[in-house]
Amino acid sequence: MNSSASAKTILFGEHAVVYGEPAIAIPLPNLRTYAEIRTDNNEFRIISENTGLNKAYNDLDPTSGIKHLIDLLISELQLDELPHATLMIRSDIPIASGLGSGAAMSVAVIREFARYFDKNLSSGEINEIAFEIEKIYHGFPSGIDNTTITYETPIIFSKSGGFSRFSADVTKLPLLIVDSGIRSRTVDAVTDVRNNYENNKKYLRLIGLLVKKAERKLKEGNLEEIGMLMNENQHLLAQIGVSCEEIDQYISIAEVNRALGSKITGAGRGGNFLVLAQNREHACELKKLYENIGLRVFL
Ligand code: PMV
């Protein structure tokens, strides 16, 4: 397919980032969503292999993210009408599982519209359009998903300070991303954290402080301390109610098998979790363990 966008994983700081704290995220370039507009004789139709969507533009649910996205693109790109064509979307990214599948879909479709209609969109413009759609998926998005995915680079991000590229090579960490297989909507977790804000605010602040420490430790490449901070971050995420029993059990497998640290990534309540291994071989051992109990693992 012609256009694509990567998944992302948040290493430290999810949820707190919604309240202005910093967070660190990296793109996952090997896990992608693809989009292609194919000219044909049909009315404008959208086919998404993963979600089973196969509808003409006029029949789309008016509240859906894809309808909002296409309408926004019509206005931003000043299109007079949609062509006789099919927009095909295919994704390798598991949905509702913390890896930014919604933002990746938006960015891939935006890039494909710009290509098909021969319009120039800067990364900043792509990021802004994707952020508008994130509001539909997340309710109160921080913007970290669309930013990491648009720029496809490791970043440290905050709502007020924007983002800067992360200078340390965090892509070489012996890190496993494990899919619990439990799907959980970001908007539900984000809304529950907000509804309980008075109780949660001290934990959200502590997460913000922890991210600053993690930034230093990642730059130093100190794996043991990075692992300890991941465990602390997970503990704080559990306090705000975004872990769940199954994730706690899967994380205890990591602990028993000498992983340096583990935590959920993204909205939580299921989805994916991270495990920091001691080195590459150890990561392969842990990968086998999780695969043996039927979980999908990305290295
Ligand atoms: O679960 P995901 O991939 O949608 O990530 C959500 C990250 C949150 O911090 C929970 C929300 C946000 O907008 O930052």
Task: Check residue 168 and give its pLDDT.
Answer: 78
> Exposure pattern of 1-35 as b/e (b: 16+ CB <10 Å)?
eebbbbbbbbbbbbbbbbbebbbbbbbbeebbbbb
Domain spans, the chain? 3-164, 171-298
On the 0-12 / 13-18 / 19+ scale of CB atoms within 10 A, 151 is middle
Task: Quote the CA–CA distance of 104 and 132 in Å, as a whole number.
Answer: 13
Task: Check residue 213 and give its pLDDT.
Answer: 97
The reply to whether ligand 1 has any atom less than 6 angstroms from the CB of 142 is yes
Q: Provide DSSP, 90-119.
A: EE-SPTTSSS-HHHHHHHHHHHHHHHHTT-
Task: Quote the CA–CA distance of 141 and 20 in Å, as a whole number.
Answer: 11
pLDDT tens by residue, the chain, 299 residues: 799 999 999 999 999 999 999 999 999 999 999 999 999 978 999 999 988 999 999 999 999 999 999 999 999 999 999 999 999 999 999 988 899 999 999 999 999 999 999 999 999 999 999 999 999 888 789 999 999 999 999 999 999 999 999 887 888 899 999 999 999 999 999 999 999 999 999 999 999 999 999 999 999 999 999 999 999 999 999 999 999 999 999 999 999 999 999 999 999 999 999 999 999 999 999 999 999 999 999 97
Task: Check residue 169 and give its pLDDT.
Answer: 82
Q: Measuring from atom 5 of ligand 1, which residue has the nearest CA?
A: 266
Task: Check residue 136 and give its pLDDT.
Answer: 87
The reply to whether ligand 1 has any atom less than 6 angstroms from the CB of 17 is yes
Just give the CATH number of 3-164.
3.30.230.10
Please list, in sequence order, all residues whose beta carbon lies within 8 angstroms of the beta carbon of residue 291, skipping any fewer than 6 positions away.
297
Task: Quote the CA–CA distance of 236 and 239 in Å, as a whole number.
Answer: 5
Q: Which helix (H) or strand (E) holds 272?
A: strand 272-276
Determine contact, residues 248/282, Cβ cutoff 8 Å: no
293: amino acid identity, one letter: I
CATH topology of domain 171-298: Alpha-Beta Plaits (3.30.70)
Task: Check residue 96 and give its pLDDT.
Answer: 86
CA of 79 to the centre of ligand 1 (A): 31
The reply to whether ligand 1 has any atom less than 6 angstroms from the CB of 65 is no
Q: What is the Cα Rg of the chain in Å? A: 19
Give the 3-state secondary structure of residue 200.
helix
The reply to whether ligand 1 has any atom less than 6 angstroms from the CB of 184 is no
Nearest Cα residue to 69 out of 105, 22, 30: 105
Task: Quote the CA–CA distance of 6 and 29 in Å, as a whole number.
Answer: 5
Determine contact, residues 37/291, Cβ cutoff 8 Å: no
On the 0-12 / 13-18 / 19+ scale of CB atoms within 10 A, 276 is buried
CA of 20 to the centre of ligand 1 (A): 13
Task: Check residue 140 and give its pLDDT.
Answer: 87
Per the listing, tokens 């299921």 go with 270
The reply to whether ligand 1 has any atom less than 6 angstroms from the CB of 138 is yes
The reply to whether ligand 1 has any atom less than 6 angstroms from the CB of 267 is yes
CA of 40 to the centre of ligand 1 (A): 37
CA of 195 to the centre of ligand 1 (A): 16
Task: Quote the CA–CA distance of 271 and 264 in Å, as a whole number.
Answer: 8
In DSSP terms, 8 is beta-bridged to: 27
The reply to whether ligand 1 has any atom less than 6 angstroms from the CB of 141 is yes
Nearest Cα residue to 100 out of 190, 195, 231, 9: 9
Task: Quote the CA–CA distance of 9 and 266 in Å, as a whole number.
Answer: 7
